[in-house]
Amino acid sequence: MVERRHRHIIETGLTLLGQCHTPYKYWSYAFESSVYLINHMPTPVLNYKTSFECLLKSTPDYAFLRTFRCLYFPFLRPYNAHKLDFHSPPCVFLGYSTSYLGYQCLDLSSKHIYLTRHVQFHENIFPLDKSE
């Protein structure tokens, strides 16, 4: 059973990586996202409930789910060094935070990873895609 669960995580993570053209050094974010998504999927083993629902006794919020590696702009005004800096640098969505309710993003210019909750998504633009 453990091997099947592990294979499910690996196959879901590889599917995310295969479609996103993300550099391999960020592979761990794809697998963290796959575990997050698997935990929010209903399963017939649990009478079509999610493992999240069985564990926490509340239904998951599907409005929080976003497209992996899409473009988005986090609100970083409180962290800017200068008041004339851009409020939101273009970032790539890498996954969900494991410690609190928020998103992980990769800043395209500085290669810094931010954890933020206040974001503006553009789910039809994929900056890491080589065909665009």
What are 87-109's pLDDT values in tens digits?
788 889 989 988 888 899 888 88
pLDDT-based confidence at 120, cuts 50/70/90?
confident
Residue 132 lies in a domain: no
CA distance 79 to 113: 13
What is the tally of structural domains in the chain?
1
Distance CA 105, CA 116 (A): 8
128: in domain: no
Domain with 104 in it: 2-122
> Which residue is listed with tokens 């931010």?
114
Predicted pLDDT at 72? 87
In a domain, 22, yes or no: yes
Do residues 93 and 111 make contact, with C-beta atoms less than 8 angstroms apart?
no
Q: With 60 as the cut, is the pLDDT of residue 112 above it?
A: yes
Q: What confidence category does residue 7 fall into, taking pLDDT thresholds of 50, 70 and 90? A: very high
Nearest to 17 by CA among 8, 25, 27: 27
Count Cβ atoms within 10 A of the Cβ of residue 72 and give its class: 0-12 exposed, 13-18 middle, 19 or more buried.
Answer: buried
**Residue 130 belongs to some domain of the structure:** no
58 domain-assigned: yes
Cβ–Cβ under 8 Å, residues 75 and 116: yes
128: nearest Cα among 72, 88, 84: 72
